[in-house]
Amino acid sequence: METLLGAALPDATTPFGEAWAISDRPEAQSVTAAGLSLHELWTNHREAIFGKALLDAKNPTFPLLMKILDACDDLSIQVHPPASMAAALKGEPKTEMWFIAHSDPGAKIYAGLKPGVTRERFETALQNGTVAEVVHVIEARTGDCLFIPSGRVHAIGAGLLIYEIQQNSDTTYRVFDWNRVGLDGKPRALHVQESMQSIDFADFKPQVQQIEADGTLVKCDYFDVRLCDQAGVVGETGECVTLAVVNGQISVSGTILKAGDFALLPACMDAKSRQVTPANAASQWLEIRIPA
């Protein structure tokens, strides 16, 4: 985040692995220059900002959480609960996607199970400390995208800078942490029981997403994410679109956005103001929409 995106980290001595860029969580609120929180916009100005299509949405908070993840070490192997199990486990369901903005040579992502791995074999691996041997491994490349539906066991390997678009949830169950200790010298807490109830044991060998002709990376019930690099008008009046710059810089309505910046284009913005102009051919950004 610091070397590639120019982010000013709050503390030079503390490792920071996440930046919550667009967030409507009680513990972390995105706030406008005018001092309005994302929650206030969602609650009190929904039609003007998010459009009529989302006016009757039942979500009490803005339904997405958008992050940048900076993995300098292998992150824990984990899973998020599916909607069918989340309430019983006292958690929130989470489906997410990753866009790899940068990958060091040899970096890996872990997702799903190797073919033939059963619940019993997974339990044995837990007992033996060999969970990494039963999880499917993908060689990560810059520009790859991976869809992580709830229930898919996964982990981010070292050397990856990732943009994550997800449901507005902060429930993560760690099932394996590479037999290591945390910053305090003690093993980090695991959530084996919750994980075993959440993992989809029929999820074998998932692959990276194939980009569609219109730039679509992922289109699901929770988000529609496209990769863009051409000048043009983003969306239409009445539609809310979030932009996340992943390479270079772009200009929108007189504002310069660089890699690492996120911007929410409100529904009330007119067509002329929605013109996006990339600085050069290397500029890329994600367009993120909430399905009505």
Distance from the Cα of residue 36 to its chain's centroid: 24
Q: Is the pLDDT of residue 182 over 80?
A: no
User: Does 8 fall in a domain?
Assistant: no
Average pLDDT over every residue of 275-288: 97
Sheet holding 160-167, edge to edge: 18-22, 64-71, 160-167, 96-103, 145-148
* pLDDT score at 33: 87
Instruction: Assess whether 143 and 275 both reside in one domain.
Output: no
CA angle 108, 97, 41 (to 5 degrees): 140
Tell me the C-alpha to C-alpha distance, in Å, between residue 180 and each of 105, 152, 188, 228: 24, 23, 8, 40
Average predicted confidence (pLDDT) for the chain = 96
Instruction: Assess whether 265 and 192 both reside in one domain.
Output: no
Q: What is the pLDDT of residues 221-248, one digit of tens each?
A: 999 999 999 999 999 999 999 999 999 9
Instruction: Assess whether 279 and 194 both reside in one domain.
Output: no
User: For the chain, what percent of residues have pLDDT higher than 90?
Assistant: 91
Q: What is the pLDDT of residues 124-181, one digit of tens each?
A: 999 999 999 999 999 999 999 999 999 999 999 999 999 999 999 999 999 999 988 7
Instruction: Assess whether 248 and 111 both reside in one domain.
Output: no
Residue 179's domain spans which residues?
18-198
Average pLDDT over every residue of 189-198: 96
Asked if residues 156 and 71 have their Cβ atoms less than 8 Å apart, the reply is: yes
Residues marked as catalytic: 174
What does the block give as tokens for 112? Answer: 């799903």
Asked if residues 91 and 177 have their Cβ atoms less than 8 Å apart, the reply is: no
User: Does 4 fall in a domain?
Assistant: no
User: Does 12 fall in a domain?
Assistant: no
User: Does 145 fall in a domain?
Assistant: yes
The per-residue DSSP string of 9-44 comes to -S-TTS---EEEEE-EETTEE-B-TTS-BHHHHHHH
Residue 152's Cβ-count burial label (10 Å; 0-12, 13-18, 19+) is: buried
* pLDDT score at 154: 98
Half-sphere exposure for 64 (CA within 13 Å, toward CB): 25
CATH of the domain at 26: 2.60.120.10
Instruction: Assess whether 81 and 224 both reside in one domain.
Output: no
Last residue of a domain, one of 139, 164, 198: 198
Average pLDDT over every residue of 25-31: 96
Indicate the pLDDT class of residue 82, thresholds 50, 70 and 90. Answer: very high
What is this structure's pTM? 0.95
Last residue of a domain, one of 164, 198, 232: 198
Which is nearest to 228 in space by CA: 238, 242, 239, 240? 242
Q: Is the pLDDT of residue 12 over 90?
A: no
First to last CA, the chain: 32
Instruction: Assess whether 182 and 263 both reside in one domain.
Output: no
| Paired residues of 42 in beta bridges | none
* pLDDT score at 13: 84
Average pLDDT over every residue of 81-100: 96
Q: What is the pLDDT of residues 37-73, one digit of tens each?
A: 999 999 999 999 999 999 999 999 999 999 999 999 9
Q: Is the pLDDT of residue 188 over 90?
A: no
Indicate the pLDDT class of residue 185, thresholds 50, 70 and 90. Answer: confident
Look-up of token digits 């992580």: 148
Q: How many domains, in total, are found in the chain? A: 2
Instruction: Assess whether 120 and 254 both reside in one domain.
Output: no
Last residue of a domain, one of 198, 227, 243: 198
Asked if residues 108 and 157 have their Cβ atoms less than 8 Å apart, the reply is: yes
User: Does 44 fall in a domain?
Assistant: yes
Instruction: Assess whether 181 and 224 both reside in one domain.
Output: no
* pLDDT score at 28: 95
Instruction: Assess whether 84 and 152 both reside in one domain.
Output: yes
Indicate the pLDDT class of residue 11, thresholds 50, 70 and 90. Answer: confident
Q: Is the pLDDT of residue 187 over 90?
A: no
What does the block give as tokens for 40? Answer: 């206030």
User: Does 104 fall in a domain?
Assistant: yes
Instruction: Assess whether 33 and 170 both reside in one domain.
Output: yes
